[in-house]
Amino acid sequence: MAEKKTKKYVAADSGQQTAAPEKKERKVKQAAPVGNAKGLRIGAVVLWVLAIVMEVLALLVVIGKINLKFMPTLYQLIAFLVLDLAFVIIGAQLWKKANHIDPVSEANKFKFWLWNNMGVIVCVVAFVPIIILMLTNKNLDKKTKTIATVVAIIALLIGGVCSYDFNPVSEEQQQAAISAVTGDVFWSPFGKVYHTHDDCQALNQSDTLTYGTVEEAIAANRTRLCSFCAKNDNITGVVTDGAGE
């Protein structure tokens, strides 16, 4: 049996042999509880209703039914649009979180699409009508119409991007991962996948790791398994990232 070679470490700046560099200590923390999907969805709906209320108030300002004497019309519109956007985005984050805790089945393609795009749909409803009304309204002065319309369009785009779920997960994918992966999994603060090994090569640069169950990883928006870990453990039938990021 061949002897294990002893590695020599040479400092790049001096070229002198040195002791092995110390390994940096890594912090490992437990994942937060996944939360209640029903409560999150109720919270999302409440916030989305408030968003629509803000849109209605903006509509009333445009048609002259509301006029706050202490504030110019343009500022009133911007204020309501900003509140509209805030409620849309926060509601969408709660909805996406709920979908990762309690995902819908892919068996019904329409419901799966609808459930995972609900935030975007609400965003469209919360901004498109007010944009159309401002563009067609003849009572607003040119400056107010132009600025308010641009603000509304920007809000629509920001809200749409923030509401879209770039990592949707289905009930089937979640159950497959739970069945295939046993024990705790790990993920980094800025990583997009979960790992079955805390010493995975993709985690070499991470100072802090979070560990928990597969359900907790998916709830934390780590919906895919690291491809390096999948290959190492010979895990199949689970969605992976294809790059081990």
Select the more confidently predicted residue: 137 or 20.
137
> Model confidence over 167-180: pLDDT tens digits?
888 898 888 888 88
**Does residue 244 register a pLDDT over 50?**
no
Mean pLDDT of 44-71: 92
**Does residue 245 register a pLDDT over 50?**
no
Whole-number pLDDT of residue 114: 93
Q: CB atoms < 10 A from the CB of 134, how many?
A: 24
**Across the chain, what does the average pLDDT equal?**
85
Mean pLDDT of 208-236: 87
Nearest to 85, CA basis, from 124, 40, 43: 124
Token pair recorded at residue 47: 């916030």
Token pair recorded at residue 102: 């309690």
What ranges do the domains of the chain cover? 37-163, 169-245
Whole-number pLDDT of residue 78: 95
Nearest to 53, CA basis, from 19, 81, 28, 25: 81
Select the more confidently predicted residue: 6 or 100.
100
**Does residue 15 register a pLDDT over 60?**
no
Q: CB neighbours of 142 closer than 8 A, spacing ≥ 6?
A: none
Whole-number pLDDT of residue 243: 45
**Does residue 150 register a pLDDT over 70?**
yes
> Model confidence over 89-132: pLDDT tens digits?
999 999 999 999 888 998 889 999 999 999 999 999 999 999 99
Select the more confidently predicted residue: 43 or 106.
43
**Does residue 223 register a pLDDT over 90?**
no
**Does residue 19 register a pLDDT over 90?**
no
Q: CB neighbours of 178 closer than 8 A, spacing ≥ 6?
A: 214, 215
**Does residue 2 register a pLDDT over 60?**
no
